Structure 1
Amino acid sequence: MGECCCCGASVAMRTLYRTRYRIPGTLLCDCCTAVCCAPCSLCQLKRDINIRKEMGIF
């Protein structure tokens, strides 16, 4: 993936997902979101995945 995983797997997963679907943001924002509010970050990711599945683009 080419990203640093020092901050944890959730940061890497969030960054990969954001990059794959061209969602605006930065690695720093991903890290801050995952570290400061990990449950919220995972819920946001899951919600977006569900929406994309319904649209048939996941």
Structure 2
Amino acid sequence: MDECCLCGASVAMRTMYRTRYGIPGSIMTDFLWLLCLPNCTLCQLKRDIEKRKAMNAL
């Protein structure tokens, strides 16, 4: 992903997902979102995954 590694499976998962689907951002913004608003961030990721599944985009 050409970015430095920060600890945390959630950061890695969000960064990988964002990179796979061309969603703008960086590993640092992923880390900060998960640090400040972890529940909201993970709910957002879950909603996006479900939306893509419903559209058969995964």
C-alpha RMSD of the superposition:
1.5
**CA–CA distance in structure 1, aligned partners of residues 6 and 30 of structure 2:** 12
Partner of 1:4: 5
Cα distance per residue 1:24-56 (max 9 Å; x no partner): 111111000011111011000000001100110
Quick one: which amino acid aligns to residue 33 of structure 1?
W
Are 2:54 and 1:30 equivalent residues in the alignment?
no
**Consecutive aligned runs of 4 or more in structure 1 exceeding 2 Å deviation:** none
- Percent identity at matched positions? 58
How many pairs were matched up? Answer: 57
User: Which segments of 5 or more consecutive residues in structure 1 lack a partner in the other structure?
Assistant: none
Quick one: which amino acid aligns to residue 29 of structure 1?
T
Alignment of 1:1-58 (within 5 A): 4-6=5-7, 8-58=8-58
TM-score after normalising by structure 2: 0.88
- 1:5 positional shift: 4.1
**CA–CA distance in structure 2, aligned partners of residues 9 and 36 of structure 1:** 16
